[in-house]
Structure 1
Amino acid sequence: MATILESPFIDALGVQLIKAVDGESEVRMPLQESHMNTWGIAHGGVTMTLLDAALAIAARSVAGDGVGVVTVEMKVNFMQPGRGELSGFGRILHRSTTMAYCEGEIRDSEGHFVAKALGTFKYMKRLAVGRDIVRQKLRSDPAATPGPSDA
């Protein structure tokens, strides 16, 4: 199983990429203690993040090289608590040249329906150079914050 190397945050959560092809995706995340809320179940933010990743990966699976997506909006309905290992599934419902409208769901390790999402994603060219510059600034100056450059 591959990791989603382009997102340090998603990788830090332990999300594993299972499938990303033809407008569909599958991701998996074994829940850890740090993913839980005070009731000992998956934190809603973890569930939403996994859904966001599943939908975005589905949208990216049909994009060209050097094209990524940004989330424009996403609606999530929580059905029941997430436990064990969570699996996220995403698929494109409609796509234009600049946007993708996607749906997805989360199921737990026993197949229980945990959450459902609908989201809109905008296709954008990646700005790898800008991201590298921000990383260099943050590494060299601990007081630096990401944002517009004065240069």
Structure 2
Amino acid sequence: MNDSGNERPRDARKKLEALEAAARPTFWGFLGCELASADGDKAVIALQVRPEHLNLAGIVHGGVLASLLDNAMGLVAILACPGERTVTTGLNVHYLQSSSEGRLTCEAELIHRTRRTLTLEARVADNKGELLVWGSGTFRRVT
């Protein structure tokens, strides 16, 4: 992460660690999200599939996958607007394949920005690299 263009990597890493620690007692932590990386306008989060993530069909619940997209894109929005509040105003989810075990990875990227809104896209893949979900989201700055 390099928000300001001149922030030292060590300082950026400490900010990310503090942000993840603050998120642990929230839905982020309840779901089991983990920060894998964040740099500039991109972030990667991961989730180890647990039995409580599955639906009655034995596959990862669509709400878990949508939450991964929203959490990863939300993280990028937070990093893009430091010190400001951002909220999800739209979330589009395209379910492509199912999964029932392993580690899921979600990569999110900022693709457009205006004065008040951010548009992002994200992908969830399984531990074999198979694309499970693709989505886009819009976020609004509310400060």
Q: Which TM-score applies when normalising by structure 1? A: 0.76
Correspondence for 2:30: 12
The percent identity for this pair of structures is 26
Correspondence for 2:50: 32
- Unpaired runs of at least 5, structure 2: 1-15
- Unpaired runs of at least 5, structure 1: 126-151
Please tell me the residue identity of whatever aligns with 1:106. V
Cα distance, 1:4–1:88 mapped onto 2, change above 3 Å:
farther
Correspondence for 1:89: 107
Q: Whole-Å Cα distance in 1 between the matches of residues 136 and 52 of structure 2?
A: 26
Secondary structure, counterpart of 1:5 in structure 2: helix
Q: 1:5 Cα deviation (Å)?
A: 2.5
Q: Whole-Å Cα distance in 2 between the matches of residues 118 and 4 of structure 1?
A: 26
Deviations 1:52-96 (A, max 9, x none): 01111112222122x131000010000000331110110011011
Cα distance, 1:118–1:69 mapped onto 2, change above 3 Å:
same
Secondary structure, counterpart of 1:97 in structure 2: coil
Structure 1 runs of 4+ aligned residues shifted over 6 Å read none
Higher helix share: 2
Q: Which TM-score applies when normalising by structure 2? A: 0.80
Q: Whole-Å Cα distance in 1 between the matches of residues 96 and 77 of structure 2?
A: 24
CA RMSD of aligned residues (A): 1.7
